Structure 1
Amino acid sequence: MKHHPELSVRFAANIKRTRAAINEQILRDYVRNLGEVVKDIPSENIWNFDESNLTDDPGRKTVIVKCGIKYPEKICSQKSVSIMIAGSAAGDIPPPYVVYRSSHL
């Protein structure tokens, strides 16, 4: 492939069609509705919770295979860690909760 100074080859991140369809008006409507829903709730009673899954990426490897093999596979172990965190509208943040596989903490 010929190199172009303004272009580069990257792996694309996959997102669902429903997420790609979100626009500015949908976000404005959501925030307006949320404000109405929580207007009488004390800020210390409003919490947000999020979870992220972190996985190591052994990366894609280029392999040489026999002609006709469409989907070569490479066996590898992938490790993951889940991190959960919460916070209140009043600014309270409990310590994060981390989940991982281990024989010893």
Structure 2
Amino acid sequence: MIECASLCGEWGFPLNITDMRHFGKSFLDSQGHNVRVFMENMPGKDWMYSLFERHKGEIIQRLAANIKRTRAEVSRGTIIQYFNNLRTTLTDVDPNNIYNYDETNLQDDPERKIMLFKRGTKYPTHVCNFTKSATSLLMCGSASGTLLPPYIIHSAEKMWVQWT
């Protein structure tokens, strides 16, 4: 069960406590086992927490960030090709002329849930095809160290004084 939960998390489709309980029930039913202390052969939350305690070196509950499927599909090969092209493109370019920016989002997302992931997972994500509203924060700087003021994007009809 722990191995399967870890694998699902790596694939971007992590399980939660309820999923694991159903997984346990399905396994017990398929094996013909009936555990009398489990109501309708469904492991309880306490049993699940003790399972996690026994395997705390392997699995952990974390808050998952939702990302769209298209963003999750970038392959390692695509990233390697990008950096090879970048190295070729930037040869002999003055660092004052090289700028990069990064974006992060402050999401209004009440649907974030605590899911199960392999211990040590750096970016726990849950692939889904919907997102909520977000405020984008962009930072830009040059290779020589010059930073531009942050840029904030919020989708709204009015700019409220409290936001600024």
Band of TM-score, shorter chain:
0.5 to 0.7
Q: CA deviation at 1:28?
A: 3.4
Percent identity among equivalent residues?
A: 29
Unaligned stretches of 5+ residues in structure 2: 1-20, 22-42, 113-131
After superposition, give the CA deviation of every residue in 1:55-76 in whole Å (9 maximum; x if it has no partner).
133347xxxxxxxxxxxxxxxx
Partner of 2:149: 95
Unaligned stretches of 5+ residues in structure 1: 61-77
CA distance in 2, matches of 1:90, 1:80: 31
TM-score (structure 1 length as normaliser): 0.58
1:28 paired with 2:85, answer no
Per residue, is there more helix in 1 or in 2? 2
Q: CA deviation at 1:9?
A: 6.4
CA distance in 2, matches of 1:90, 1:57: 37
After superposition, give the CA deviation of every residue in 1:4-49 in whole Å (9 maximum; x if it has no partner).
22356665744536744512x5433332221111112111111112
3-state SS, counterpart of residue 135 of structure 2: strand
CA distance in 1, matches of 2:152, 2:65: 28
Partner of 2:127: none
Partner of 1:69: none
3-state SS, counterpart of residue 53 of structure 1: strand
TM-score (structure 2 length as normaliser): 0.41
